[in-house]
Amino acid sequence: MSTEKFIRNKTALVTLIAACLVVLISLGVRQTFGMFFMDFKNDLGISLTESGLSIGLQMLMWGLTGPIFGTIADKYGGHKAIALAFLFFIAGIYFLYAGPNTGIFFQIDMGILVGIGLGGTAISIPMAIVGKHFPLSNRTIAMSLVTAFGSFGYFLSPLFTAYSLNENGWKITLIAFMIALIIGLIISYFVRSPSLNESIEEPNSQGTYDALKEAFGTKSYILLVSGFFVCGFHITLVGTHVPTYVIDRGLESWTAAAILSLIGLFNIFGSLLSGYLSTKISKKIILSVIYLLRGLSIVLFIFLPASNINAFIFGASFGFLWLSTVPATSGIVAHMFGTKYLGMLYGIVFLSHQIGSFFGAYLGGLFHDLYGSYDYAWYLAIVLSIFAAIIHLPIKEEAVLRLKTN
């Protein structure tokens, strides 16, 4: 057990708390978009394929802009990057509410603007900033706290959204989302990168190009990037299409809200356990086991008879594995390369995650419209689980030569 002080200074404490709240708001809003699909279909004429495409674009923009916001955060400070992203997020929700919000504008609002907003407000950038405040011995625990708090947003938001959609309709629900995002914008001011005096990173003169060259010249980083694609495919397929899937199988809409809430609730425990275990055992083994268990959870969900009990078991089991990949994955990146460019380098790993998210969202809707079911999307998710479990095993969890010789 490390004897190092967990909270090293006031800035670290305030940043940790603010980052937790930012992620709670951002991921809470993001988690519930699949619950709007039937309203969008009835009121705006948006098909499931179009809704799936918008979420796919959203995930892709989230991933593409993540490294950009990471670079801004690394160079100018985390609060500036996150605040800028919140402005895009608010704009996307506003135009989705007020219009124009049909046809190509639906894709711009839900897909591009909200996606850009997520690129700087969701988990990768706030967590990377928090990681800069903590030493290797405590870093994954601090990061897991951010992930777990985001999971609490996953838990609360579907419950609120299901109630609000039923009582107030989708437009009033979007107004509530905008208010929450404005609060997040204010809180983002306190997500501060450490000053030179507070920094725990050894001084080095490495530039951005050299950092990228070093990362892409490291085989373990490439494997990590490849494996995180699968994580994105899984969680976006589930988060986006489970509401429609359970209705297709004869269950009620409240069951979908319960699944999403259970995912958020149990992910709190999964993320914290993953962060703790990452300080004790091999992170790559943790990741391989998580991906295998995800595949098993999906197999049981789709092949067992449809019932509320089986749906709730899936929500709890998959939720336990939901973002538990994040502390271990980000921890490996920080361990290999240090924290100076953690925002950018983890942002690139997360880009792969979001490319997987694009295919999870889009292919789910496409397969459903083409074949009348999600079966082929689930089969693909199971195969990818096995692939991810295998590809993490050759990763070497060690610092690059530059850090070893400092």
Question: What is the dihedral sign for C-alpha 325, 316, 362, 32?
Answer: negative
Largest distance between two CA atoms of the chain: 62
Output the six-digit token pair for 239. 């988060």
pLDDT score for 230: 95
All residue ranges of the chain with pLDDT < 50 are 1-3
237 to each of 71, 232, 271, how far by Cα in Å? 29, 8, 20
Selected from 3.30.420.40, 1.20.1440.230, 1.10.730.10, 1.20.1250.20, the CATH number assigned to the domain covering 10-195+208-404 reads 1.20.1250.20
Question: What is the dihedral sign for C-alpha 320, 321, 325, 326?
Answer: negative
pLDDT score for 343: 77
Q: Supply the pTM of this predicted model.
A: 0.77
301 to each of 229, 292, 304, 314, 319, how far by Cα in Å? 22, 14, 6, 6, 13
Residue pair 138/3 in contact (Cβ under 8 Å)? The answer is no
Label residue 173 exposed, middle or buried (CB < 10 Å: 0-12, 13-18, 19+).
buried
pLDDT score for 344: 84
pLDDT score for 3: 47
Place of tokens 């929700």: 93
pLDDT score for 1: 41
How far is 273 from 194, CA to CA, in rounded Å? 27
Question: DSSP assignment, residue 32?
Answer: T
pLDDT score for 405: 59
How far is 69 from 73, CA to CA, in rounded Å? 6
Residue pair 80/72 in contact (Cβ under 8 Å)? The answer is yes
